[in-house]
Amino acid sequence: MTAEINHDPWATLDDLLGVEVAEPVDESIGPVAFYGRCSTEDNQDPETSHGWQLSNARKFVEPLGGSVVAEFFDVGQSRSVPWERREAASRLLKALKDPGRRWQAVVVGEGTRCWFGNQFSLVAPKFAAYGVDLWVPELGGKFDARNPSHKMLMSVLGGMSESERQHVQARVRAAMDAQVINEGRHQGGRAPYGYKVVDGGPHPNPRKAAEGYRLRVLAIDEASAEAVRRIFAEYISGKGDRAIANGLNRDRIPCPSARRPDQNRHRLADGWQGSTVRSILENPRYTG
């Protein structure tokens, strides 16, 4: 037994794990379709992201006789969106049914960009049904459904993709919170009632400043801030949401949709409601 392990330890490990070693490729891959994806979470512009993913795919298949003859690239699509709901990925799945397509395999630039969670296990059978091979760089070759290590690795990659997305979201939210708390930045959208958006000077990022971007910060709008102060004062004194709203309507104080109709076109501007008062009381922008 020792002699056999010393002779070929990797082959012995494959036998112990039950891994079926893929046979060498005898023929060239031939024409392939490329698929990639880029979204706002990637922190890259679409052109750059498309370029490096396509380059990776070509470096992967060209030494094996493959050539990219079709491209499918999703822009602005989160990796959590199923393939059927992505524009380019959906077109790729429909193209599988076309007997006149010029390619018989699909290559990706990076597996974690294309599949999320268990998506690969749902998509791979559709390619197999039409005899289309999937070439994934992380596998070092094409996906083999009979190889348990391939299935395991693609499952791991799906989990890594999901974890990476969650980490990116957490970092972005933390950065935005810090910008609001430490720098007073306004992150977009309508200004809360009692505030207005004002110019905060050049953008602190030199590149964005050179492009003309400027900071947007919130400043107190005294015309409506007095109503906010009144809401909190009356709530502290023991009044309820409806009672506060009725008092504001009785004194003809404009509600948020009446104060700024251009920002509230979906509202009726029919006066204060208890729910409006409650939303102000629960908004951390007022309470800190």
**Pairwise CA distance, residues 119 & 252, whole Å:** 56
pLDDT the model gives residue 21: 53
Contacts (Cβ under 8 Å, ≥6 apart) of 222: none
- Tens digit of pLDDT for each residue in 47-75? 888 999 999 999 999 999 999 999 999 99
In this prediction, residue 237 has a pLDDT band, given cuts at 50, 70 and 90, of very high
Q: What homologous superfamily does CATH list for 2-164?
A: Resolvase, N-terminal catalytic domain (3.40.50.1390)
This prediction's pTM: 0.53
Instruction: Pinpoint the residues of the chain covered by CATH 3.40.50.1390.
Output: 2-164
pLDDT in the model for residue 3: 47
CA–CA separation, 80 and 77 (whole Å): 8
Contacts of 243 (CB under 8 A, 6+ apart): 234
134 alpha carbon, distance to own chain's centre:
24
The larger pLDDT score, comparing residue 151 to residue 230, is at 230
- Do 118 and 159 form a contact (C-beta atoms < 8 A)? no
pLDDT, residue 25, reads 47
Band of pLDDT at residue 2, cut at 50, 70 and 90:
very low
Question: Which DSSP symbol is given to 42?
Answer: G
Mean pLDDT for 92-115 is 92
Using the CB atoms, write b or e for 215-237: b if 16+ within 10 Å.
bbbbeebeebbebbeebeebbee
Is 112 a residue whose pLDDT tops 60? yes
- Range name among 30-34, 137-141, 184-188, 206-210 with the lowest pLDDT average: 184-188
